[in-house]
């Protein structure tokens, strides 16, 4: 076998191996919000009524489609919400998409929308009570693990 043919065979094998590793890695990184427990790290929040943005480091843990834990004050304050309904499906949080949860805590309901758009990843919490008050807050997410 000539050196050129041997080099071509080695390169072809190396390329196939790289492609296999890339495909396997992509499959492993696809995090489905409905089946994985994920932590969403926020660095700021915007009050959508006033457009005022403030620094707020907190995290949200989504536990498949069953519950959400909102962790604040470096873990000293934690609120656990039960998911009562889900709108949408988001099979890979690394790709654009969204899902909306209806949440329940201490007999009170709210909505949480998790989304990734070209402008970033966000969680919007809607604590509004129709006819009484509006309370919308949008959290800027910097990491999802």
The gap between the terminal CA atoms of the chain, to the nearest Å, is 49
Nearest to 56 by CA among 142, 126, 144: 142
Nearest to 65 by CA among 39, 30, 32, 106: 32
A 10 A CB-CB count for 88 gives 14
Pairwise CA distance, residues 125 & 121, whole Å? 14
Burial of 69 (0-12, 13-18, 19+ CB in 10 A): middle
pLDDT above 60 (res 17): no
- pTM of the predicted model over 0.95: no
Across 72-76, average pLDDT: 95
Tokens encoding 20: 């296999």
Band of residue 99 on the pLDDT scale cut at 50, 70, 90: very high
Are residues 109 and 90 in contact, defined by beta-carbon separation less than 8 angstroms? no
Determine which helix (DSSP H) or strand (DSSP E) holds 32, and give its type and residue range: none
* One CATH from 2.40.160, 3.30.60, 2.40.128, 2.30.31 for 37-144: 2.30.31
pLDDT of residue 30: 79
pLDDT of residue 19: 35
Question: What phi-psi label fits residue 83: left (phi over 0), alpha (psi between -120 and 50 degrees) or beta?
Answer: beta
Question: What phi-psi label fits residue 109: left (phi over 0), alpha (psi between -120 and 50 degrees) or beta?
Answer: beta
pLDDT of residue 27: 38
């Amino acid at each position: 076998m000539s050196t050129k043919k041997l080099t071509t065979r080695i390169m072809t094998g190396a390329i196939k191996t790289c492609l296999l590793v890339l495909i396997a890695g992509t499959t492993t990184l696809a995090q489905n919000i409905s089946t994985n427990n994920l932590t969403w790290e926020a660095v700021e929040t915007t009050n959508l009524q006033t457009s005022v943005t403030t620094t707020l480091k907190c995290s949200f843990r989504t536990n498949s489609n069953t519950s959400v834990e909102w962790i604040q004050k470096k873990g000293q304050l934690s609120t656990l919400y039960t998911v009562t309904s889900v709108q949408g499906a988001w099979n890979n949080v690394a790709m654009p998409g969204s899902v909306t949860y209806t949440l329940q805590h201490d007999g009170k309901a709210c909505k949480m929308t998790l989304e990734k758009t070209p402008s970033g990843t966000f969680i919007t919490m809607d604590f509004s009570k129709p006819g009484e008050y509006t309370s919308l807050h949008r959290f800027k997410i910097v990491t999802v693990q």
